[in-house]
Amino acid sequence: MTRQTSLLYLDGVSVSFDGFKALNDLSLVIAPGEMRAIIGPNGAGKTTMMDVITGKTKPDSGEVYFNGVVDLTGEDEASIAELGIGRKFQKPTVFESHTVWDNLELALKAPRGPFATLFHIISGAEKSRIEELLTLIRLSDKRDELAANLSHGQKQWLEIGMLLAQDPKLLLVDEPAAGMTDAETMETAELLKDIARTHSVVVVEHDMHFIRALGVKVTCLAEGSVLAEGSLDHVSANERVVEVYLGR
Amino acid sequence: MMTSFLFRTLDARAGIFIGLMLAAVVLVPALNLLVPEGSTFHVPTYAVTLMGKYLTYALLALSVDLVWGYCGILSLGHGAFFALGGYAMGMYLMRQIGTRGVYGDPVLPDFMVFLNWKELPWYWYGFDMFPFAALMVLLAPGILAFVFGWFAFRSRVTGVYLSIITQALTYALLLAFFRNDMGFGGNNGLTDFKDIFGFDIQAGTTRAGLFAASGLALVVCFLICRAVTRSKLGKVLVAVRDAESRTRFLGYRVEHYKLFVWTLSAMMAGIAGALYVPQVGIINPGEFAPANSIEVVIWVAVGGRGTLVGAVLGAILVNFSKTWFTAALPEIWLFALGGLFVVVTLFLPKGLLGLMDKGWSAVRRRPAKDTAAHRAEPQPAE
């Protein structure tokens, strides 16, 4: 696929920290509407890749394009978020001293400037959108609860809800099933498949059952570059993947 | 629209606070001016001035709580903005002296005549007009805060590093204002004020008026802080305080939010300084001392950070005890004050207001156990 028709286009991206190559000539292309799962051992560069896409880390070399035309290496976190890339962190990060409702309200797509928010009065449309999201992430009865009091799995879901509230074109989801029970993991997979119908999604995950439940194209990273790409069966049949990741 | 913006967020505690403040604004001057001196209800003028001074400290504490309690910016240099506001007011009061100074120069303040200066420096122009001076009370701290914040927040200086540069800022200003050639009276600062708006600055009625003005300024700034912190912007500020990078990934420009609240807070500190100077009758570089700014943070911590009302309560209570201890226990007052701070930080992490909330919910829990158990606030283990 060419850069012009892609949604996310990484070509030859390298990042090093004090001589350690976190990303080494990484190339990855996500098509509009695609859902992609990323697997790989610890230190393969999965989180660094997300940092590069969202503007937290600047690559030493290589190209990063969004929508085929926007060069992400020249933008900061806030403008990349405004362009339509949302991110869920590995460790669930919600605003603990805000209620569930306020967390969603803050994430909701709306003007982000200080004066716009100072005089903002929540509209009926915004309220019903938050209600919808609350139902979707099954936290309707917790709306007035402080996010600090949610369970680990609920925080994960709240963060996914906040991602959706942003209404991004591309969702980057880092280990959504971490710390969840098997049943919760499967529910999360269903939720993500649902989301993928209307959004492009990149999921990083270790849980093979979860990846299998998603049933999408898989990219395996190791030592900062792509080791194998294809269907889960294809990737897990790869000898190198078995060696460095799936294990012995 | 502005009024609904200011009043739409009032709750019971804020209402009680404003009610008490407005009652004080009316009652204290009335008891001072209308009740004869022999009566038990008479409030002496020195007490009016003392309380007026507490109110300006309370306003300063309020401004620190706005940035520290809600946005997590621990400023150890807010005394600088307070002093700048004070100097702007002091310059107006100096120009009001006119020919009544020791040297009788109609334009030049005494210290300039003493230094053999022949004409007024350009930056003293305009301070003979109160509207200009009032503008400078807001602009001098506001512009300094804006420029300082622009560089600090854009470079993402946070936490203890930011606190240290705010200390450096106020210390640098302390040294600068000590110099005679700065043109602000050097070591002695600005003093010997005669009148304000044509009223004798020593007169009881003027003192009562300044007290009332301080109380009203406190109420107005409280309403502004309250409206700001309860708006969506206020929620973003708390989000920045708790998870700054998460807020960035949601698309908020954190540096713009910090800059807004930082500049607003500096202007409030400037107003506090401007009301402080005519009541104490002097402004000198000592007000820039780093220790002063640290003390303000302690007032806020004692009252309860991130509550606004707590900041006011803390400032008034600590300063009242300071006054009281120095008179009642002159030898050990510093120890008493130090002990108070140790007790508060060790046993009252949420300050006095946190203690009051805890007591209140304990009282309410007894009759209705179920409702208390469902309260949204995380209750510490008892």
In total, the C-beta contacts within 8 angstroms joining chain A to chain B are 84
- Give me chain A's average pLDDT, please: 90
User: B interface mutation test: which of A51, A93, A95 has the most B CBs within 10 A?
Assistant: A95
A187, exposed or middle or buried, with CB in 10 Å at 0-12, 13-18, 19+?
A: middle
**What pLDDT does residue B152 have?**
96
User: A interface mutation test: which of B154, B247, B249, B260 has the most A CBs within 10 A?
Assistant: B249
The residues near A199 (Cβ < 8 Å, ≥ 6 apart) are A168, A169, A170, A171
Nearest partner of B85 among B207, B293, B266, B221, judged by Cα: B266
Sign of CA dihedral B218, B219, B225, B228: negative
Q: Residue B61 and residue B301: Cα distance in Å, rounded?
A: 10
Q: Is B250 contained in some domain?
A: yes
Interface of A with B in 94-113 (CB under 8 A): 94-99, 102, 105-107, 112-113
Please report which residue ranges of chain B form alpha helices under DSSP H: 2-7, 12-33, 45-71, 78-97, 110-114, 130-154, 159-178, 204-230, 232-242, 244-249, 254-280, 290-303, 309-328, 333-347, 351-365, 369-373
Q: Which residue has the tokens 């991004």?
A: A168
Q: Is B47 contained in some domain?
A: yes
- CB contact at 8 A, A145 and B376: yes
User: A interface mutation test: which of B232, B240, B261 has the most A CBs within 10 A?
Assistant: B232
Residue A145: DSSP 8-state: S
**What pLDDT does residue B371 have?**
41
C-alpha distance across the termini of chain B, in Å:
45
The residues near A39 (Cβ < 8 Å, ≥ 6 apart) are A204, A205, A206, A208, A211, A218, A219, A220, A221, A235, A245
Mean pLDDT to the nearest integer, A121-145 = 93
Please report which residue ranges of B100-203 form alpha helices under DSSP H: 110-114, 130-154, 159-178
Say yes or no for a CB contact (<8 Å) between A119 and B5.
yes
Residues forming beta bridges with residue A63, ordered by sequence position? A11
Q: Which residue has the tokens 């003007």?
A: A111
Mean pLDDT to the nearest integer, A55-74 = 92
**Spans of chain B below 50 pLDDT:** 368-382
Interface predicted TM-score (ipTM) of this complex, two decimals:
0.89
Instruction: Nearest chain B residue to A167 by CA: give it.
Output: B250
Q: Is B149 contained in some domain?
A: yes
Say yes or no for a CB contact (<8 Å) between A166 and B250.
yes
Structure tokens at B309: 């009302």
C-alpha distance across the termini of chain A, in Å:
34
The nearest CA of chain B is from the CA of A239 a distance in Å of 37
- 3 state SS of B202: coil
Q: Residue A201 and residue A204: Cα distance in Å, rounded?
A: 10
- 3 state SS of B320: helix
Please tell me the pTM assigned to this model: 0.90
Mean pLDDT to the nearest integer, A146-174 = 92
Length of chain A: 248
The angle at the Cα of A203, spanning A48 to A107, to the nearest 5 degrees, equals 85
**What pLDDT does residue B2 have?**
65
Residues of chain B contacting A, Cβ within 8 Å? 5, 228, 231-233, 235-236, 238-239, 242-243, 245-254, 256-257, 260, 376-378
**What pLDDT does residue B162 have?**
96
Q: How confident is the model at residue A19 (pLDDT cuts 50, 70, 90)?
A: confident
**What pLDDT does residue B1 have?**
58
**What pLDDT does residue B365 have?**
67
**What pLDDT does residue A100 have?**
96
Residues forming beta bridges with residue A17, ordered by sequence position? A20
C-alpha dist (Å) from residue B171 to A191, B141, B166, B202, B294: 56, 15, 9, 32, 12
Length of chain B: 382
Q: Is B172 contained in some domain?
A: yes
pLDDT in tens, A198-215: 999 999 988 888 899 898
Confirm or reject contact between A54 and chain B (CB < 8 A). yes
Q: Is B156 contained in some domain?
A: yes
Mean pLDDT to the nearest integer, A13-22 = 90
Residues forming beta bridges with residue B215, ordered by sequence position? none
- CB contact at 8 A, B99 and B111: no
pLDDT in tens, B102-124: 888 888 999 999 999 999 999 99
Say yes or no for a CB contact (<8 Å) between A97 and B242.
yes
Q: Residue A205 and residue A46: Cα distance in Å, rounded?
A: 9
Q: Does residue A189 have a pLDDT over 60?
A: yes
Q: Residue B189 and residue B178: Cα distance in Å, rounded?
A: 8
Q: Is B46 contained in some domain?
A: yes
Domain count, chain B: 1
Domain around B38: 2-349
Say yes or no for a CB contact (<8 Å) between A166 and B251.
yes
Question: What is the share, in percent, of chain B residues with pLDDT greater than 70?
Answer: 94
* Tally: H helices and E strands in chain B: 16, 4
Q: Is B202 contained in some domain?
A: yes
B170, exposed or middle or buried, with CB in 10 Å at 0-12, 13-18, 19+?
A: buried
- CB contact at 8 A, A30 and A86: no
Q: Is B55 contained in some domain?
A: yes
- CB contact at 8 A, B53 and B281: no
Of A81, A105, A145, the CB nearest to B251: A81
The nearest CA of chain A is from the CA of B84 a distance in Å of 26
Instruction: Nearest chain B residue to A105 by CA: give it.
Output: B232
Say yes or no for a CB contact (<8 Å) between B248 and A119.
no
Confirm or reject contact between A141 and chain B (CB < 8 A). no
